[in-house]
Amino acid sequence: MRFSSPPNLGSVSRPLVPVQAVVTLLLIQCASAKMAPLGQTVEINDVAYHIHPDAIGRLESCYRPKPSSGGVLPYDLLPITIFDVGQSQYNESSLKQWIASYLAKDDVFNEGFLQGTYLRVPGPKPNIALPDASGDSRISFIRPIEAGAIDCPAGPYMLSQSTGELFMPYRLYSDTQGSFHQGVIAAKGGRFEPLSSSLAGSSSVTIGVPSRLYYKPTAQKPLSGVRLGVKDLYDLEGIKTGAGSRAYYNIYPEANVTAVPVQRLIDAGAIVIGKMKTTQFAAPEFARDAIDYQAPFNPRGDGYQEVGSSSSGPGSGMGSYEWLDLALGSDTGGSIRVPAEDNGVFGNRPSHNKVALTNTVPLGPQFDTAGFLVRDAKLWKTACEVLYSDLTTNYTKYPSKILTYDLPSTATDNVSNLVVSFIDKLSKHISATSSAYNYTSHWSQTHPAGTPSDVQEFVGNTWAILTAQEQIKLVKEPFFKAYAAKYNGRQPFVNPSTNGSWSWAGSQSNQVDVAVANKTVFMDWWNQVAMPPNRDSCSDSLFLYMFNNAQPAYRNTYTGAAIGTQGLAGVLLGLNTGFISPMAGNPDFVVPIGEVRYKSTVTAHEEKLPVSIRIMAARGCDLMLLDLINELVGAGIIPKVNTGDSLDGGPIYI
């Protein structure tokens, strides 16, 4: 073990106490000082760990472990492991098995934690014979006097040899893909603190994760131990929210409350490990337009493809890191769905209004939703059940109609081959018919009295106006005011996309009310006429479309304007298919269906790009979609999603 900071730093003056010091020699009375330990950074068998400064338990009623031969650990903290051994008799081979199973299950435990071994048995008296001299020279046993002396879960710990206190080690990882804004760690009273350890020799943010061995999902805590990254639009008590803006991060204090969506996940056992990057104020940005902070990197293909906005950090992280299980994003007009497609992971825009977005930086509250980017469809369903209220569960069969919008019906290339084959397998799996559907012509035939027959004329500007004019009122105005107050009337920098949208919408009359009225009429038409509910199948139909054409989009191509129409950066005019679910409030889920090859101009090699499809259902039918997707994964119709350059897994080219 190697300590990279003075070993006794973490054990001084804990908990936080004022220290009165009088330096008599110089006849100066010093003011009181506050000192707080922030934890330590250590290496155990060449793996770096952050040691939490607060003890979580005590092993006082045990014999001290015998000093290690060779005296290689002249430190107070000793890496030890607690094993729960049930009533089984201990023997050499069973211990080997427990160690092997810990190594297989957990990326935090390593054999360096066998400096002390605590075999815990249930019942009043240990009934196992502890070997005094283990055949294995790596291991020194800690002998409990009483069973049940500690209630810490089994797993690796750091034991203070002077106090008997136990501390949690967090394995440190380097965020080489730039997916995170900041690493965080739980502190006292439900608060969080920035992770103080930083990996030496890394130019990236450092993230710490606790042992997987501590946690087991239960009915009350179905997300127990799930490592969660949170898009940096959600407040986390004790941590600043940055929303992708340097000025915003600096001007406001730490959040004093945790946003409701995050708190629901924490209450269900999720472990928040960091804040993840967002485009600035959730705007539609290309990677190259992320001026304040560099955009995260897409792991797929050559590693230099567009990463998608605005939940780009969650998308990039989920495609890249085995040590991250789940990421909370937000979707206003595609902000979960687009990065899910680009980074080849699952992503859901849920039914609107299923969780309160308190203490969350808004874009347009009429469209804002909280949802996930994730690799594991089962975990996805569990996380949705935790996050959302009142999801309909009473369907008895899947929809018998599949509507496709602008999808190929014959295979003419590798992408259409995947799409046609997916629709074919899906139709057979749920015994549904599939047919092409065009909402533009359906609208012109059935639109409500008093509305234009051209749907674009009616709601083409609605999303752009409503989001920008709401965000100007809710975010820009207080932010600019606070900045001007601090810096003598100056205004802060904003990225091109946000600046474009705020400038455009700010120059127009206030159209919030008419936009809400138009949206409501369209929503009612969609939910009653185009995609009505169904008593048996929850949704009358499934609506399938593609948003990403699975063509290379290099992050270093400078042709064309910023995202937006008519040269207006950040202004998304026109009702595109991806805006239907924001307008109508129904669920819209992204699933990868395969990959296609392309010749990369970056690696000069053939690489793979993910191909995804979006599936919509009637409002409230989120669980039906999740059940269906899980079945399709089980049947091999939807591929398993791994991290790396390909859905099959692989390296990332950096």
Residues 482 and 251 sit within 8 Å (Cβ to Cβ): yes
Residue from 307, 342, 349 nearest 615 by CA = 349
Largest Cα–Cα distance in the chain?
Answer: 93
Phi/psi zone of residue 106: left (φ > 0), alpha (ψ -120 to 50 degrees), beta? beta
134 belongs to the binding site for ligand NAG (CB under 6 A): no
In the list 102, 398, 458, 579, the residue contacting ligand NAG (rule: CB under 6 A) is 458
486 belongs to the binding site for ligand NAG (CB under 6 A): no
Amino acid sitting at position 213? L
Cα 67 to Cα 72: distance, rounded to the nearest angstrom: 9
130 belongs to the binding site for ligand NAG (CB under 6 A): no
By beta-carbon proximity to ligand NAG, the closer residue of 173 and 234 is 234
51 belongs to the binding site for ligand NAG (CB under 6 A): no
The stretch among 48-56, 300-308, 320-328, 459-467 that binds ligand NAG (CB under 6 A) is 459-467
Tell me the closest approach of the beta carbon of residue 155 to ligand NAG, in angstroms. 21
DSSP SS3 for 428: helix
SS3 per residue for 434-480: EEECCHHHHHHHHCCCCCCCCHHHHHCCHHHHHHHHHHHHHHHHHHH
148 belongs to the binding site for ligand NAG (CB under 6 A): no
In the list 154, 423, 465, 616, the residue contacting ligand NAG (rule: CB under 6 A) is 465
Residues 278 and 233 sit within 8 Å (Cβ to Cβ): yes
Residue from 575, 476, 591 nearest 521 by CA = 575
Show the CA angle centred on residue 590, arms to residues 296 and 229, nearest 5°: 40
471 belongs to the binding site for ligand NAG (CB under 6 A): no
By beta-carbon proximity to ligand NAG, the closer residue of 24 and 394 is 394
Tell me the closest approach of the beta carbon of residue 347 to ligand NAG, in angstroms. 23
The stretch among 19-27, 128-136, 183-191, 433-441 that binds ligand NAG (CB under 6 A) is 433-441
198 belongs to the binding site for ligand NAG (CB under 6 A): no
The DSSP H or E segment spanning 518 is helix 512-525
N residues, the chain: 654
396 belongs to the binding site for ligand NAG (CB under 6 A): no
For 175-220, where are the E strands, in sequence order?
Answer: 180-186, 192-194, 206-209
The stretch among 7-15, 63-71, 317-325, 458-466 that binds ligand NAG (CB under 6 A) is 458-466
By beta-carbon proximity to ligand NAG, the closer residue of 241 and 518 is 518
Tell me the closest approach of the beta carbon of residue 291 to ligand NAG, in angstroms. 9
The stretch among 282-290, 424-432, 514-522, 584-592 that binds ligand NAG (CB under 6 A) is 514-522
In the list 68, 94, 416, 427, the residue contacting ligand NAG (rule: CB under 6 A) is 94
Tell me the closest approach of the beta carbon of residue 608 to ligand NAG, in angstroms. 9
Residues 210 and 49 sit within 8 Å (Cβ to Cβ): no
202 belongs to the binding site for ligand NAG (CB under 6 A): no
Residues 592 and 612 sit within 8 Å (Cβ to Cβ): yes
Amino acid sitting at position 399? P
Q: 39: which residues sit within 8 A by CB, 6+ positions away?
A: 10, 50, 51, 52, 53, 185, 196, 197
In the list 514, 561, 573, 602, the residue contacting ligand NAG (rule: CB under 6 A) is 514
89 belongs to the binding site for ligand NAG (CB under 6 A): yes
By beta-carbon proximity to ligand NAG, the closer residue of 392 and 557 is 392
601 belongs to the binding site for ligand NAG (CB under 6 A): no
The stretch among 168-176, 222-230, 437-445, 558-566 that binds ligand NAG (CB under 6 A) is 437-445
Tell me the closest approach of the beta carbon of residue 627 to ligand NAG, in angstroms. 15
By beta-carbon proximity to ligand NAG, the closer residue of 452 and 574 is 452
In the list 411, 573, 596, 602, the residue contacting ligand NAG (rule: CB under 6 A) is 596
By beta-carbon proximity to ligand NAG, the closer residue of 213 and 494 is 494
The stretch among 3-11, 27-35, 427-435, 512-520 that binds ligand NAG (CB under 6 A) is 512-520
Residue from 114, 171, 111, 172 nearest 141 by CA = 114
Question: What letter would DSSP give residue 31?
Answer: P
Tell me the closest approach of the beta carbon of residue 553 to ligand NAG, in angstroms. 16
Question: What letter would DSSP give residue 189?
Answer: G
For 195-269, where are the E strands, in sequence order?
Answer: 206-209, 227-231
Interface size with ligand NAG, residues (CB under 6 A): 32
In the list 24, 32, 69, 93, the residue contacting ligand NAG (rule: CB under 6 A) is 93
Cα 31 to Cα 90: distance, rounded to the nearest angstrom: 57
Tell me the closest approach of the beta carbon of residue 356 to ligand NAG, in angstroms. 16
By beta-carbon proximity to ligand NAG, the closer residue of 218 and 491 is 491
By beta-carbon proximity to ligand NAG, the closer residue of 29 and 441 is 441
Q: How many C-beta atoms lie closer than 10 Å to residue 393's C-beta?
A: 12
Residues 126 and 150 sit within 8 Å (Cβ to Cβ): no
416 belongs to the binding site for ligand NAG (CB under 6 A): no
256 belongs to the binding site for ligand NAG (CB under 6 A): yes
By beta-carbon proximity to ligand NAG, the closer residue of 273 and 505 is 505
Cα 150 to Cα 160: distance, rounded to the nearest angstrom: 14
394 belongs to the binding site for ligand NAG (CB under 6 A): yes
Cα 636 to Cα 653: distance, rounded to the nearest angstrom: 28
DSSP3 helix / strand / coil % (the chain, rounded to 5): 30, 20, 50
By beta-carbon proximity to ligand NAG, the closer residue of 328 and 515 is 515
Cα–Cα distances (Å) from 203 to 175, 268, 459, in that order, read: 9, 34, 46
The stretch among 31-39, 59-67, 211-219, 453-461 that binds ligand NAG (CB under 6 A) is 453-461
- Read off φ and ψ for residue 15, nearest 5 degrees: -75, 180
Tell me the closest approach of the beta carbon of residue 146 to ligand NAG, in angstroms. 23
Cα 595 to Cα 611: distance, rounded to the nearest angstrom: 5
The stretch among 7-15, 139-147, 460-468, 481-489 that binds ligand NAG (CB under 6 A) is 460-468
Residues 610 and 537 sit within 8 Å (Cβ to Cβ): no
440 belongs to the binding site for ligand NAG (CB under 6 A): yes
DSSP SS3 for 99: helix
Amino acid sitting at position 440? T
Take residue 272 and report the two structure tokens written for it: 């928040």
433 belongs to the binding site for ligand NAG (CB under 6 A): no
- Read off φ and ψ for residue 250, nearest 5 degrees: -80, -30
578 belongs to the binding site for ligand NAG (CB under 6 A): no
126 belongs to the binding site for ligand NAG (CB under 6 A): no
DSSP SS3 for 339: helix
Could you list the residues that contact ligand NAG (CB under 6 A)?
Answer: 88-89, 91, 93-94, 256-257, 392, 394, 406, 414, 438, 440-441, 451-452, 458-459, 461-462, 465, 493, 499, 503, 511, 514-515, 518, 533, 596-597, 620
